[in-house]
Structure 1
């Protein structure tokens, strides 16, 4: 299980604390293989109008860095409030990314839709969790509202 926190304050603290820098490469190297959260657009650009276009501008990328495809059936994407998207049968190829969009649409290669009529991710701060079908956490990413509407979880 890995937790990534995408906040400018944490990045500054790591840069200033020389002792912590030695741990960063090990975490980055461990993150090179497997399924993980990539980028999150938690605040759709423009006004929050709740139109389908605005809802679909809110999304989470899940990336497969492994050398083989992964069946995502039963995996869940959850926020702090408890909203959960559960994958049906979807295979993500080796080195590929799937984008989970909040609004409605037709699932296709590289994109699935949560089919919600309201936003999921809080603009002021939230935490995305990727859970295995067993319920065990595979990855997570937190942010505060200072990221300009997007978080990088690499």
Structure 2
């Protein structure tokens, strides 16, 4: 006996939705760039407080800790931040601030003396340390906002 056409259509729709959901989950990178605050508040005079107002937020989207040692965060013009020994816990985020400071468990510092991210447009990319495979990226153009949610 064949299912009624409405039930058959429902089954097909449910199968397509499950497939799309699985594909979307599989496409989520293990470490995801969730936000880039590329235009720190106030005028860009290069003070450390202003530099630290510029940052990138990375999130571990897995259920396992990820060792970020030797991973790379970079912009499109070649600024590179090589991660020190640092473990990103499951489901947790870390903020990478451009200026100077002391690293902690949820914030680490690039130790730059000038701005990294271009206000008029740029690309932030995160690359795995072992083979420098691109894991995720986030780009933006000229905007009235000071940040982009990725």
- In the other structure, the counterpart of 2:133 is 136
- In the other structure, the counterpart of 2:87 is 91
- In the other structure, the counterpart of 2:78 is 82
- Normalization by structure 1: what TM-score? 0.79
- In the other structure, the counterpart of 1:14 is none
Structure 1 range deviating more: 93-102 or 24-33: 24-33
- In the other structure, the counterpart of 1:11 is none
CA deviation vs aligned residue, 1:100-150 (integer Å, no higher than 9, x gap): 000000000101000000000000000001011111100001001215010
Deviant stretches of 4+, over 6 Å: 24-27
- In the other structure, the counterpart of 2:121 is 125
Please give the alpha-carbon distance, in whole angstroms, between the structure 2 residues aligned to 1:37 and 1:99: 10
Show the 5 A alignment for 1:3-152.
Answer: 28-32=24-28, 34-133=30-129, 134-146=131-143, 148-152=145-149
- Give the alignment's Cα RMSD to 1 decimal: 1.9
Please give the alpha-carbon distance, in whole angstroms, between the structure 1 residues aligned to 2:23 and 2:49: 36
- In the other structure, the counterpart of 1:17 is none
Compared CA separation, residues 26 and 45, structure 1 to 2 (3 A): farther
* Cα deviation, residue 32, structure 1: 4.5
- 2:29–2:136 Cα contact (<8 Å) kept: no
Rg comparison, structure with higher value: 2
Please give the alpha-carbon distance, in whole angstroms, between the structure 2 residues aligned to 1:33 and 1:81: 23
Structure 2 residue ranges without an equivalent (≥5)? 1-16
Structure 1 residue ranges without an equivalent (≥5)? 1-21
CA deviation vs aligned residue, 1:36-89 (integer Å, no higher than 9, x gap): 111000000111111000000000001001001100001000001100000010
- Normalization by structure 2: what TM-score? 0.81
Q: How many residues align?
A: 131
CA deviation vs aligned residue, 1:6-34 (integer Å, no higher than 9, x gap): xxxxxxxxxxxxxxxx9x96775345462
